[in-house]
């Protein structure tokens, strides 16, 4: 393995490592615009120029492989001068419209100017004019004047999505990033171009002019949009909520996980969070009396529902009760549900799977047809009909229609997605007691007698298990909306009312209990799951599959 | 009169045809080579002849050929750079027009030496007549069995294809040329890999200039020493000097490597028009650092010009007399490089346009004292920091014009006008 000395410190690195990567291993950040570890290397921005001893010219750190005995300077006067010069060149034709630019605060022109520039402007000439506020696709706006032609977005569309929408047209300082004639930047992953744009050239239609980035707080999480479980950061606006018209979640950004999603996420997941602050959110326990919804306190709701559930079971037996859990729920929520329904109430008709009528979009990259983040977790926890030798969801609906089922407890599902609307109506209208527990109103909730408000994935802590058996953590970014609560707390409270308390105070308590009981999770803890998740035993091969899909 | 190799054909009628070329000893070298020589022997002979790359970089041609990997399973290609675009340079056009089959013979020998069965002539888009001539003469060569399968009855196959550029100076840079040849935008590539390892279509490729290849048949025919001895030390043979500007007889002159610049201007090009004195001379295409009258005794070869911080480059000499405004001259040169910058990497893309604007402002009488140093700083910040040499090509004139004619720039800034008569 070659040894290299960077700014006086020696390090041994893998063969093929570039200077910029070796420096990173030493904690030295060489500035970069065009270099992105997930894309091919083009060496065009020239900001990463470094001095390598015995080479007459400065070299770009992104492209130069380490050789044994190489001595690199990233910080001497010659390098700093070149870096300042490149910044100055990049900025002479830049509009410097930071006050109205959405990138301000996370702009690498601003950041590197503060770190490496700080010169006085010598530019007195008219700037080159280019096209502004171009609507180039369903999610992306382009300001060509702000573009520094690093070509990251072009390479993303060429190399990652292979959709080839973007090009750089014209020559010299009139060179301009644009979609090819007649094309739009419209692919399943287009939002990533915004993430990797180091400046304000590509901005997000969904985020433009909504909030300044310095008001945002970031919370690590996992996308609940499908079973891949892409790692994300939830960006939420806690500091000036009144400026956002009640919208607390400003955007989702992919978070690097080498095993799952690398640097990327799909648009479906990226823009799929709007239900969190939507008007359809259920914000308090509700009860339907004579066809009208009426709010009630949690205390009353728990009392009434617990009593009615008990009555039903007493009167008609456990076989007259159906429970439909959801793979949208965390492992913790599912485990608490299982404790409650199976142990406290001794029910058998417990299932979670509702096959979607319309198959979800799937590709060989990140998007999976299963649009649930925790199907694998639900399977592992044993909450399917098979595990409980009870009725499947379809059978429950059939039994309901025949009036043999007297109570149904439905978590999160909109049954309409799996069954014909009329079918669902016909079944649910025959059941005496329908309890819906979920985040948003839907057809199913409208057909229920009681609605209990669940917190959404950005409002809770917990874990999901992705398709490959990787357990990953989600973190609470904002408080549950209104009166909504995490599912596990609702089940804990119901259980307590029925005389069986569950000693859980934090999601971690639920997880630890789960670990004790479910073999697949043996030995795990929140600490061990860490930043990038952990594969359950027996899933090593699946992990390779995950990577295979990305590398292929 | 000194010896001529290529230019003796300039005055022969129909010298571009096979018959005339063969009547004057053409296609003897390739026949000899195909019968008796190994590729290694050719490379050695060309190396010993001290043939340098005459496109401008001056890299020893034989050594370049030796870089082709011996055991690569990929096809090898020869690419002929006929994208002659450097202002002040027009020698390759003469070669194509008058020594067409001499060029082809050089291509055949080089292809055989590097193991290429396909060669491409990438020709400047504006050279319409020359492209037509090439196509027509290639057809004639195919008809005679000089190109195609088993050329000259040997076991060696060679196809020769003409590819026209679309009018970008940058495509004369060899890696941009290869990109363009592949049908892509003419953006220079990062090196390594060098073309000899990974060139056109990711295969080993040698890129040679027209003039370089045109001298190859003579080297084979007359021997390396006889060619080397025509030139100066380490700069073998003759060279086609293009001379333009304020001289009486502009044109292409074939003279030994190392001929003094003064001799080329006064003896061969007839001196200056109207008996004017010299103010400045560009020795090797517009990108080469400019020379003052006291420097024109320099020998015109790669090493002698490098020794005085200039370069022989394409040997495109531009003579400027005392009536020339150096600020305007630099503006014209800088405008050209700005126009031709490919825009791929930052310093050249942004720096060339900035420099042009500053120069324009000075010319318009709105210069500021700090502009002059700023121009030099812009140039300093471009040099050496770009992917390809276009950045240097734009910056070197700025540095040298300002250094050598600083008072003229200062006068422009101070007085808002030119102190040269007639401007």
Tens of pLDDT, residue by residue over A39-59, are: 999 999 999 999 999 999 999
Q: How far apart are CA B400 and CA A455, in angstroms?
A: 71
Query: Tokens in use for A514?
Result: 């789960």
Q: Looking at beta carbons, which residues of chain B come within 8 Å of A124? A: 361, 368
Q: How far is A67 from chain B (nearest CA, A)?
A: 14
Q: What is the pLDDT of residue A240?
A: 80
> Bridge-partner residues for B316, per DSSP?
B242
- CB-based burial label for A241 (10 Å; 0-12, 13-18, 19+): middle
Average pLDDT of every residue of chain A? 95
B384 part of contact set with chain A, CB < 8 Å: yes
- The single residue listed with the structure tokens 């090493």 is B303
What does the pLDDT look like over B34-86, one tens digit per residue? 999 999 999 999 999 999 999 999 999 999 999 999 899 999 999 999 999 99
Count of beta carbons in the 10 Å neighbourhood of residue A246: 9
Q: How far is A214 from chain B (nearest CA, A)?
A: 29
What value does the mean pLDDT take over residues A217-222?
Answer: 98
Q: What is the pLDDT of residue B233?
A: 85
Q: How far apart are CA B313 and CA B294, in angstroms?
A: 20
Count of beta carbons in the 10 Å neighbourhood of residue A178: 20
What does the pLDDT look like over A154-191, one tens digit per residue? 999 999 999 999 999 999 999 999 999 999 999 999 99
Q: pLDDT band at A244, cuts 50/70/90? A: confident
What does the pLDDT look like over A337-384, one tens digit per residue? 999 999 999 999 999 999 999 999 999 999 999 999 999 999 999 999
Handedness of CA B96, B97, B98, B100 (dihedral sign): positive
Q: How far apart are CA B306 and CA B290, in angstroms?
A: 12
Residues in contact with B275: Cβ distance below 8 Å, sequence separation at least 6, in sequence order: none
Residues in contact with B397: Cβ distance below 8 Å, sequence separation at least 6, in sequence order: B286, B287, B288, B289, B290, B330, B333, B334
Q: What is the pLDDT of residue B419?
A: 86
Instruction: List phi, psi (to 5°) of B239.
Output: -150, 145
**Does the pLDDT value for residue A542 go beyond 80?**
no
**Does the pLDDT value for residue A322 go beyond 60?**
yes
Q: How far apart are CA A272 and CA A223, in angstroms?
A: 9
- Helices A487-497 and A331-338 sit at what angle, rounded to 10 degrees? 20
Q: How far is A175 from chain B (nearest CA, A)?
A: 6
Q: How far apart are CA B264 and CA B245, in angstroms?
A: 13
Question: For the CA atoms of A391, A395, A398, A400, what is the dihedral angle to 10 degrees?
Answer: 30
Of B349, B353, B384, the CB nearest to A57: B384
> Bridge-partner residues for B206, per DSSP?
B78
Q: How far apart are CA B234 and CA B181, in angstroms?
A: 32
Q: What is the DSSP letter of A428?
A: H
Q: Hey, are the CB atoms on A125 and B346 less than 8 Å from each other?
A: no
> Do the Cβ atoms of A204 and A106 come closer than 8 Å?
no
- Helices B369-382 and B390-404 sit at what angle, rounded to 10 degrees? 150
Helix (H) or strand (E) holding B80: strand B76-82
What does the pLDDT look like over A478-489, one tens digit per residue? 999 999 999 999
> Do the Cβ atoms of A63 and A43 come closer than 8 Å?
yes
Percent of chain A whose pLDDT exceeds 90? 93
Instruction: List phi, psi (to 5°) of A542.
Output: -60, -35
Residue (of A233, A8, A379, A34) closest to B346 by Cα position: A34
- Helices B390-404 and B326-340 sit at what angle, rounded to 10 degrees? 170
Helix (H) or strand (E) holding A394: helix A393-401
Q: How far is A13 from chain B (nearest CA, A)?
A: 21
ipTM of the complex, rounded to two decimals: 0.95
In A201-270, beta strands by DSSP E: 202-204, 216-222, 231-237, 249-254
Q: What is the pLDDT of residue A529?
A: 96
Q: Hey, are the CB atoms on B342 and A43 less than 8 Å from each other?
A: no
Q: Are strands A462-465 and A470-474 parallel, antiparallel or unpaired?
A: antiparallel
> Do the Cβ atoms of A338 and A381 come closer than 8 Å?
yes
- Helices B28-36 and B100-114 sit at what angle, rounded to 10 degrees? 10
Residue (of A193, A225, A192, A204) closest to A139 by Cα position: A204
What value does the mean pLDDT take over residues A419-444?
Answer: 96
H helices of A26-115, where? 77-92, 108-112
B339 part of contact set with chain A, CB < 8 Å: yes
Q: How far apart are CA A87 and CA A148, in angstroms?
A: 10
Residues in contact with B334: Cβ distance below 8 Å, sequence separation at least 6, in sequence order: B352, B355, B356, B359, B394, B397, B398
Q: Looking at beta carbons, which residues of chain B come within 8 Å of A43? A: 190, 345, 387
Q: What is the pLDDT of residue B355?
A: 98
> Do the Cβ atoms of B131 and B164 come closer than 8 Å?
yes
Q: How far is B350 from chain A (nearest CA, A)?
A: 5
Count the helices and strands in chain B (H runs, E runs). Answer: 18, 8
Q: pLDDT band at A246, cuts 50/70/90? A: confident
**Does the pLDDT value for residue A552 go beyond 60?**
no
Q: pLDDT band at A544, cuts 50/70/90? A: very low
To test the contact with chain B by mutation, choose from A34, A172, A175, A199 the residue with the greatest count of B C-beta atoms within 10 A, namely A172
Q: What is the pLDDT of residue A551?
A: 45
> Between chain A and chain B, how many beta carbons pairs sit less than 8 Å apart?
98
Q: Looking at beta carbons, which residues of chain B come within 8 Å of A126? A: 357
- The single residue listed with the structure tokens 């874990």 is A463
Q: Looking at beta carbons, which residues of chain A come within 8 Å of B339? A: 171-172
Q: What is the pLDDT of residue A545?
A: 56
Q: Hey, are the CB atoms on A44 and B344 less than 8 Å from each other?
A: yes
Cα-based distances in Å from B196 to A474, B162, B201: 53, 20, 12
Residue (of B66, B317, B315) closest to B210 by Cα position: B315
Interface of B with A in 157-196 (CB under 8 A): 168, 170, 185, 190
Regions of chain B with pLDDT less than 50? 1
């Amino acid at each position: 393995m070659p040894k290299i000395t960077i700014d006086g410190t020696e390090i041994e690195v893998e063969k093929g490592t570039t200077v910029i990567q070796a420096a990173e291993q030493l904690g030295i950040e060489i500035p970069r615009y065009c270099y992105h570890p997930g894309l091919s290397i083009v060496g065009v921005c020239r900001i990463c120029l470094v001095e390598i001893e015995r080479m007459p010219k400065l070299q770009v750190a992104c492209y130069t492989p380490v050789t044994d005995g190489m001595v690199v300077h990233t910080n001497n006067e010659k390098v700093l001068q070149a870096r300042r010069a490149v910044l100055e060149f990049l900025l002479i034709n830049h509009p410097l419209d930071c006050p109205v630019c959405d990138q301000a605060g996370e702009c690498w022109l601003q950041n590197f100017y503060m770190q490496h520039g700080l010169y006085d402007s010598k530019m007195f000439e008219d700037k080159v004019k280019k096209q502004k506020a171009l609507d180039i696709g369903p999610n992306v706006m382009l300001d060509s004047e702000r573009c520094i032609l690093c070509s990251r977005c072009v390479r993303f569309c060429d190399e990652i999505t292979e959709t080839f929408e973007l090009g750089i047209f014209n020559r010299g300082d009139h060179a301009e990033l644009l979609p090819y004639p007649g094309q739009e930047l419209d692919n399943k992953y287009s939002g990533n171009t915004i993430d990797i744009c180091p400046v304000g050239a590509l901005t997000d239609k969904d985020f433009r002019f909504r909030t300044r980035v310095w008001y945002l707080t970031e919370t690590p999480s996992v996308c609940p949009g499908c079973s891949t479980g892409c790692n994300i950061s939830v960006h939420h606006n806690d500091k000036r909520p009144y400026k956002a018209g009640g919208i607390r979640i400003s955007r989702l950004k992919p978070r690097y996980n080498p095993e799952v999603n690398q640097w990327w996420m799909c648009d479906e997941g990226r823009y799929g969070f709007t239900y969190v602050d939507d008007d359809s959110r259920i914000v308090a326990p509700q009860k339907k009396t004579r066809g009208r919804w009426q709010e009630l306190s949690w205390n009353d709701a728990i009392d009434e529902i617990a009593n009615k559930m008990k009555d039903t079971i007493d009167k008609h037996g456990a076989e007259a009760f159906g429970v439909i859990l959801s793979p949208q729920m965390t492992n913790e929520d599912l485990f608490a549900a299982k404790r409650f329904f199976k142990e406290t109430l001794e029910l058998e008709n417990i299932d979670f799977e509702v096959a979607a009528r319309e198959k979800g979009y799937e590709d060989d990259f990140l998007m999976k047809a299963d649009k649930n983040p925790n199907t694998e977790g639900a399977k592992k926890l044993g909450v399917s009909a098979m595990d409980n030798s009870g009725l499947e969801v379809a059978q429950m609906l059939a039994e309901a229609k025949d009036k043999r089922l007297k109570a149904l407890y439905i978590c999160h599902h909109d049954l309409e997605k799996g069954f014909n609307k009329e079918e669902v109506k016909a079944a649910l209208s025959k059941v005496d007691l329908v309890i819906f527990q979920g985040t948003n109103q839907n057809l199913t909730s409208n057909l229920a007698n009681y609605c209990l408000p669940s917190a959404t994935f950005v409002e809770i802590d917990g874990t999901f298990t992705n398709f490959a058996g990787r357990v990953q953590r989600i973190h609470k970014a904002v408080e549950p909306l209104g009166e909504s609560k995490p599912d596990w707390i609702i089940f804990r409270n119901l259980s307590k009312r029925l005389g069986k308390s569950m000693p859980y105070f934090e999601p971690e308590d639920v997880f630890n209990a789960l670990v004790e009981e479910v073999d697949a999770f043996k030995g795990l803890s929140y600490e061990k799951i860490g930043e990038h998740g952990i594969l359950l035993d027996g899933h090593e091969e699946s992990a390779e599959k995950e990577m295979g899909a990305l590398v292929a | 009169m000194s010896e001529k190799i290529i230019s003796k054909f300039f005055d022969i009628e129909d010298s571009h045809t096979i018959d005339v070329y063969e009547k004057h000893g053409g296609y003897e070298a390739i026949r000899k080579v195909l019968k008796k020589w190994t590729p290694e022997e050719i490379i050695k002979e060309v190396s010993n002849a001290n043939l340098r790359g005459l496109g401008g970089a001056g890299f020893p041609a034989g050594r370049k050929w030796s870089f082709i990997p011996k055991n690569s399973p990929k096809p090898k290609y020869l690419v002929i750079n006929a994208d002659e675009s450097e202002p002040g340079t027009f020698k390759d056009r003469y070669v194509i027009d008058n020594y067409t089959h001499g060029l082809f013979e050089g291509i055949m020998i080089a292809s055989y030496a590097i193991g290429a069965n396909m060669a491409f002539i990438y020709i400047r888009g504006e050279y319409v007549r020359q492209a037509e001539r090439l196509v027509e003469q290639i057809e004639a060569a195919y008809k005679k069995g000089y190109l195609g399968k088993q050329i000259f009855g040997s076991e060696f196959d060679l196809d020769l294809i003409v590819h026209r550029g679309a009018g970008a100076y940058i495509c004369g840079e060899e890696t941009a040329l290869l990109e363009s040849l592949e049908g892509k935008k003419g953006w220079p590539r990062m090196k390594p890999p060098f073309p000899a390892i990974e060139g056109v279509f990711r295969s080993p490729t040698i890129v040679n200039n027209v003039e370089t290849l045109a001298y190859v048949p003579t080297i084979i025919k007359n021997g390396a020493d006889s060619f080397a001895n025509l030139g100066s030390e380490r700069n073998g043979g003759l060279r086609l000097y293009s001379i333009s500007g304020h001289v009486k007889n502009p044109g292409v002159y074939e003279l030994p490597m190392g001929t003094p610049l003064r001799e080329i201007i006064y003896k061969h090009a007839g001196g200056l028009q109207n008996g004017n004195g010299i103010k400045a001379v560009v020795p090797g295409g517009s990108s080469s650092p400019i020379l003052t009258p006291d420097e024109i005794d320099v020998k015109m070869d790669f090493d002698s010009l490098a020794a005085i911080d200039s370069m022989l480059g394409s040997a495109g000499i531009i003579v400027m007399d005392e009536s020339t405004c150096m600020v305007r001259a630099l503006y014209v040169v800088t405008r050209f490089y700005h126009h031709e910058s490919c825009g791929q990497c930052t310093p050249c893309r942004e720096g060339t346009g900035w420099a042009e604007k500053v120069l324009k402002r000075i010319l318009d009488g709105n210069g500021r004292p700090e502009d002059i140093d700023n121009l030099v700083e812009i140039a300093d910040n471009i040099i050496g920091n770009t992917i390809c040499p276009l950045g240097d090509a734009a910056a070197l004139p700025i540095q040298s014009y300002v250094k050598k004619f600083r008072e003229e720039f200062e006068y422009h800034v101070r007085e808002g006008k030119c102190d040269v008569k007639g401007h």
